[in-house]
């Protein structure tokens, strides 16, 4: 979804009964699509009609996360005046009186059986860096609870984020524990990063319901960034030409940056976060166009660290894919990654784990040379057999584990840790940058430092 709305108006009333009813009103069930599930999202406020509670509330990072924040949600019956409120949180209890209201965009989406869902999006703009805000979404009468988020800093500063490979299957049943362990392991993560195949069938609303149920309230407080995998598209072996398009449920669920190439908005984009440039690529279509765009984005990159992400691996690590892997992603993207010394490439799709050595021109580099680490991970319970024959470029390969990764980025050091569902470390490495050009040379040392592991 899209469009920036400017803040206007003021929130003037507080309903104490909301909290009481939220605490004691109990949980209901709601029939949605072809499944009945515990609806913890029904908001039991006195002024909140049960037929359209805000649900699937999710924060997404914007291109400038130090000054804006996107939120998206939906209802199953239409509301006429969708809006969001935001206030800076202070130690004083009257922070709520400073809340500002912004109008939201609305998008109607036919999900199945001619049922329509109503998706809404808003972008909170003109925010202050490093600042805690509370927000809620609704229609002026029926509101979500107040949730909190903190904006990014404008200048480079240490941060951590969590990266997940494919959830895809049994998402509610088997990924919930991964998500909860990840939150317990890194509750202070600045954001979560998914690299596609969030669900198995991206055109089935019930599967998106399972994903949001599995994530619980975490997306309401921890911003998410994601890119599409092949399961957010129709099967390429069956659907061709102009019919091969991302499923219509992708864009309404999220509000992602629109700074990518034309025709790939909200699937290809970049974000600058406290000294790192994060670049999302879409491995499903128009790869050549993306490679040219990527070259432009990295040629003007002032950030010290560069992390790219793509669903389909550049260097496959699944036994079943080794005969046909790597093409054309490797031939189009690797020269650009090499040219700008991208530090890390995060991938999914193979349902295995792998971590390459630092590579350039498809081969290992020396400790003193610049190179790129390529990681594949998976957080869901679907696994493939791993290809363990690539010791020439891989430092670790494995399969059969649901994993998540905590990545901490400092000025000169990137610390990567992969965890299993028990919270035990499965893999780790460190990248370091050493300035070889003296002190600040004015360009933030874009990949100019020597790196070592």
Site residues, Fe ion (CB under 5 A): 197, 229-230, 349
Least distance from Fe ion to the Cβ atom of residue 312, Å: 7
- CB nearer Fe ion, residue 41 or residue 232: 232
Taking alpha carbons only, the member of 208, 201, 167, 226 closest to residue 35 is 208
Least distance from Fe ion to the Cβ atom of residue 197, Å: 4
Least distance from Fe ion to the Cβ atom of residue 194, Å: 12
- CB nearer Fe ion, residue 197 or residue 203: 197
Q: How far apart are CA 348 and CA 92, in angstroms?
A: 45
Q: How far apart are CA 168 and CA 172, in angstroms?
A: 10
- CB nearer Fe ion, residue 169 or residue 197: 197
Least distance from Fe ion to the Cβ atom of residue 226, Å: 13
Q: How far apart are CA 11 and CA 219, in angstroms?
A: 24
- CB nearer Fe ion, residue 95 or residue 244: 244
- CB nearer Fe ion, residue 197 or residue 343: 197
Structure tokens at 387: 């290809």
Least distance from Fe ion to the Cβ atom of residue 173, Å: 19
Least distance from Fe ion to the Cβ atom of residue 216, Å: 24
Q: How far apart are CA 35 and CA 18, in angstroms?
A: 28
Q: How far apart are CA 310 and CA 194, in angstroms?
A: 10
Least distance from Fe ion to the Cβ atom of residue 175, Å: 15
- CB nearer Fe ion, residue 100 or residue 230: 230
- CB nearer Fe ion, residue 349 or residue 358: 349
Q: How far apart are CA 320 and CA 350, in angstroms?
A: 9
Least distance from Fe ion to the Cβ atom of residue 34, Å: 24
Is residue 181 a contact partner of residue 404, using CB atoms and an 8 Å limit? yes
Q: How far apart are CA 277 and CA 271, in angstroms?
A: 6
- CB nearer Fe ion, residue 284 or residue 306: 284
Least distance from Fe ion to the Cβ atom of residue 231, Å: 6
Structure tokens at 100: 């500002």
Least distance from Fe ion to the Cβ atom of residue 284, Å: 9
- CB nearer Fe ion, residue 16 or residue 323: 323
- CB nearer Fe ion, residue 195 or residue 431: 195
The residue whose Cβ lies closest to Fe ion is: 349
Least distance from Fe ion to the Cβ atom of residue 353, Å: 15
Q: How many CA atoms lie within 13 A of 388 on its CB side?
A: 6
Q: How many CA atoms lie within 13 A of 387 on its CB side?
A: 21
Is residue 206 a contact partner of residue 260, using CB atoms and an 8 Å limit? no
- CB nearer Fe ion, residue 53 or residue 167: 167
Give the chain's largest Cα–Cα span: 66
């Amino acid at each position: 979804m899209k469009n920036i709305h400017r803040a206007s108006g003021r929130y003037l009333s507080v309903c104490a009964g909301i909290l009481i009813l939220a605490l004691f009103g109990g949980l209901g069930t709601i029939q949605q699509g072809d499944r009945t599930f515990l609806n913890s999202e029904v908001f039991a406020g006195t002024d909140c009609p049960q037929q359209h509670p805000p649900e699937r509330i999710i924060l997404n990072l914007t291109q400038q996360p130090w000054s804006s924040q996107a939120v998206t949600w939906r209802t199953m019956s239409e509301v006429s005046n969708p809006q969001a409120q935001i206030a800076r949180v202070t130690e004083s209890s009257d922070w709520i009186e400073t809340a500002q209201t912004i109008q939201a965009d609305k998008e109607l989406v036919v999900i199945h059986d001619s049922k329509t869902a109503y998706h809404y999006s808003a972008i909170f703009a003109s925010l202050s860096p490093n600042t805690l805000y509370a927000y809620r979404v609704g229609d002026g009468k029926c509101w979500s609870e107040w949730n909190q988020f903190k904006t990014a800093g404008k200048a480079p500063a240490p941060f951590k984020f969590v990266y997940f490979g494919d959830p895809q299957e049994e998402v509610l049943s088997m990924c919930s524990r991964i998500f909860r362990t990840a939150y317990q392991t890194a509750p202070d993560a600045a954001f979560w990063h998914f690299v596609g195949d969030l669900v198995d069938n991206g055109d089935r609303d019930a599967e998106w319901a399972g994903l949001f149920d599995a994530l619980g309230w975490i997306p309401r407080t921890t911003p998410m960034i994601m890119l599409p995998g092949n399961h957010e598209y129709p099967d390429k072996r069956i659907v061709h030409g102009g019919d091969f398009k991302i499923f219509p449920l992708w864009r309404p669920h999220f509000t992602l940056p629109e700074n990518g190439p034309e025709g790939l908005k909200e699937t290809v984009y970049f974000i600058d976060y406290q000294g790192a440039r994060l670049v999302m690529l879409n491995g499903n279509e128009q790869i050549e166009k993306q490679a040219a765009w990527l070259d432009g984005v990295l040629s003007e990159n002032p950030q010290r660290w560069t992390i790219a992400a793509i669903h389909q691996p550049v260097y496959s690590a699944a036994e079943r894919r080794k005969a046909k892997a790597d093409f054309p992603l490797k031939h189009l993207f690797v020269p650009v990654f090499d040219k700008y010394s991208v530090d890390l490439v995060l991938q999914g799709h193979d349902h295995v784990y792998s971590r390459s050595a630092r590579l350039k021109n498809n081969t290992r580099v020396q400790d003193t040379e610049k190179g790129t680490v390529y990681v594949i991970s998976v957080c869901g319970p679907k696994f493939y057999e791993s290809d363990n024959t690539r010791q020439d470029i891989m430092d670790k390969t494995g399969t059969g584990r649901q994993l998540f990764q905590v990545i901490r980025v400092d000025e000169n050091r990137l610390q990567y840790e992969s965890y299993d569902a028990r919270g035990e470390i499965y893999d780790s490495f460190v990248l370091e940058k050493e300035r070889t050009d003296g002190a600040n040379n004015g360009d933030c040392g874009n990949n100019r430092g020597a790196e070592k592991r």
